[in-house]
Structure 1
Amino acid sequence: MEDLLKELFPEAKVNQSSWMGNDYFTVPLEGKFMHFASGTITDREKRLIIQMLEPDTVFNTGLKNVWAHYLLENPNPIPSGYERIQVLQVTLKQTSPEPIDRKLWLDAFKNTLSSIVDGFFVSEQYAIFIIHNPDHFELTNEIEGVLNVLDDDFGIKSNAYLGQNWTVNSFLPALFLEEQSIFLDTRSRSQADQIVTLTTTALPHYTFEAASKSPILATIKEGIQNIDGGADLVYAMWQNQGNISKAATDLYVHRNTLQYRIDRFVDTIGLNLKKMDDLLLSYMALHARFK
């Protein structure tokens, strides 16, 4: 794939950096990143490249759905009737010998969540849903619950990215394109969560370039990984914003046990997970990817 893209886009650069500035369009590629300078690639070519790099996904042109045309082909005309929407991306992987009835799955998902106004398959394993959520309700847990039920019913494994609430205008397709790239980047790494969002992925995604070159973060990461349960401790504290009682509940341990582990973490790593700056540094170290 890299040779083909280099042939088609000889000006493109391939390296270990995930970010080269706003003047570049960047996609993950076989453990590295490929960068296309602005002016050397069109929006349609960007979407085609993303679909080429997504395993088992083939981009469908000529999509008749109005939202599909707007997001994936041409930002005009702009769909009417909704001031702001969220885009939910879902990938499916078959885990049973029975083929996936995609139409039935699509209808089941659309009918289960009242906030969904439309949905369509871009390929056999990649679907997009349009969500109208004007009151900004937290939908992550609800969507994850529906996905879990449908995964069991249809014999599949799904992963999803719930986008931000964006204004429906001519700029939204560009925002969606970046969210699509973030989702692809997330899936190229080990990801325990079934559904991710911009806020849960932004830190490791946007700080990758600096983090990947840091011997300090590499040393901290190695130290955390050498502690039994060290990574789980950091993640639990991060997800609960440093609240020891809630983190202890997530880890199924007594609060005093967790406090002991935090004290041991301080003695070993030199960072106090009860301090948000120390917790942030530990979290960044765990998400850093190195050569």
Structure 2
Amino acid sequence: MTIKELIELYPFGKIQETKATNENISFPVDGKYFVLPKDSLQETEIRLLKKLFPVKDSFVDPKKHPWYDYLFNQGSLNLVGNFRVIHIQLKKPKAFLQAEWENSITEIFPNLVDFFFTSENDGALIEKYAKNHYTLEELQSIFLTLDADFDSSTTAFIGNFFSAHEPFPTLFEEEQQIFKKETEYLRGKTTFALPDVALHYFTQEAMKQSNIIQTFYKQLVLTNEIQQLILSLWRNQGNISSTAKDLYMHRNTLHYRLEKFYEQTGLSLKKMDDLVFCYLLITKQKK
């Protein structure tokens, strides 16, 4: 049975990149998950769907990792304080020193309360808040150092610190979805947090559904060269000198191209509002 056939049977279902962790139930299909509200299914339907779409054996022993049980199996935890999840995607060499890498992680993170892999390459670090917690820049340096030592490649999404009173499994599920989607989009940035991708992620559907945006995009002539210029300006926060250096371009050449773009479109990439608009415009079309 395909996803298309499932949607025909259950039009209220949804497709997502990650397993459901709240009151919904999920079934693995074609590398994704088809998610349905548990209370919308009869027990016989649930048993049949589980037979048709069996979940692979877990990488994790819930008894050894209570946070996994809490996040994925609706287990209970007596929590006090604030916690964050560091979501990682680890590309490993053939001769990867797994045990040594994990030992390094536990030594580096003094406030770690749990750590596990949910698949061969995907993992989660759960860290309790402390005043000396690592900043985004420090975490980026840590993962780059580990990659150099172990010949690996790590992409990390740094979740927010949330109170233990919040619905952690639901927040964890949304962070996983953000991580999966935005990792495909990001280029040249391997450690990031919500502020880095919030504008792009939360405006995606609204931009796609706007007739004005679609029509405006058709009228614009956005060559690959212009798109790279816009993306570089965005990454460099509109700084002309940094952008010129990034594109191996003379400042005067860059100024000329910005002026030419303004004459053609009426949009000045020197103005942050216009730059944000163009950035969103081209990134939505790339999706």
TM-score by length of 1: 0.71
Q: Which amino acid aligns with 2:266?
A: G
> Which of residues 181, 184, 187 in structure 1 aligns to 2:180?
184
Tell me the residue number matched to 2:18. none
Correspondence 1:226 to 2:226: no
Unaligned runs of 5+ in 2: 16-23
Tell me the residue number matched to 2:78. 78
> Which of residues 159, 162, 167 in structure 2 aligns to 1:163?
159
The answer as to whether partners of 1:76 and 1:170 remain within 8 angstroms in 2 is: no
Q: How does 1:118-129 map to 2 (within 5 A)?
A: 118-129=114-125
> CA distance change for structure 1 residues 289 and 227 in 2, over 3 Å: closer, same or farther?
closer
Post-superposition shift, 1:88?
Answer: 0.4
CA distance in 2, matches of 1:174, 1:209: 21
The answer as to whether partners of 2:111 and 2:130 remain within 8 angstroms in 1 is: no
Instruction: Tell me the alpha carbon deviations over residues 171-209 of structure 1, each in whole angstroms, 9 at most, x when there is no partner.
Output: 12211111012112224x343121232222223322222
State the percentage of identical aligned residues: 28
The answer as to whether partners of 1:57 and 1:126 remain within 8 angstroms in 2 is: no
CA distance in 2, matches of 1:240, 1:268: 23
Instruction: Tell me the alpha carbon deviations over residues 136-178 of structure 1, each in whole angstroms, 9 at most, x when there is no partner.
Output: 9772222222222322332332222111121122512211111
Q: How does 1:74-113 map to 2 (within 5 A)?
A: 74=74, 76-80=76-80, 83-94=81-92, 96-98=93-95, 100-113=96-109
Tell me the residue number matched to 1:259. 255
CA distance in 2, matches of 1:277, 1:266: 14
> CA distance change for structure 1 residues 136 and 263 in 2, over 3 Å: closer, same or farther?
farther
CA distance in 1, matches of 2:266, 2:25: 38
Instruction: Tell me the alpha carbon deviations over residues 240-288 of structure 1, each in whole angstroms, 9 at most, x when there is no partner.
Output: 4334344445445554443333223323443112222211211111221
Q: How does 1:1-291 map to 2 (within 5 A)?
A: 2-3=2-3, 6=6, 10-13=10-13, 36=36, 39-40=39-40, 60=60, 62-74=62-74, 76-80=76-80, 83-94=81-92, 96-98=93-95, 100-114=96-110, 116-135=112-131, 139-187=135-183, 189-192=184-187, 193-214=189-210, 216-218=212-214, 220=217, 223=220, 225-228=222-225, 230-251=226-247, 253-289=249-285
TM-score by length of 2: 0.72
Larger Rg: 2
Instruction: Tell me the alpha carbon deviations over residues 194-226 of structure 1, each in whole angstroms, 9 at most, x when there is no partner.
Output: 123222222332222222234654553895741
Which range moved further: 130-139 or 206-215?
A: 130-139
The answer as to whether partners of 1:213 and 1:290 remain within 8 angstroms in 2 is: no
Tell me the residue number matched to 1:21. none
1:144 alignment partner, SS class: helix
CA distance in 2, matches of 1:221, 1:140: 38
The answer as to whether partners of 1:84 and 1:168 remain within 8 angstroms in 2 is: yes
Unaligned runs of 5+ in 1: 16-23
Q: Which amino acid aligns with 1:62?
A: P
> CA distance change for structure 1 residues 179 and 259 in 2, over 3 Å: closer, same or farther?
same
Post-superposition shift, 1:119?
Answer: 2.1
> CA distance change for structure 1 residues 134 and 113 in 2, over 3 Å: closer, same or farther?
closer
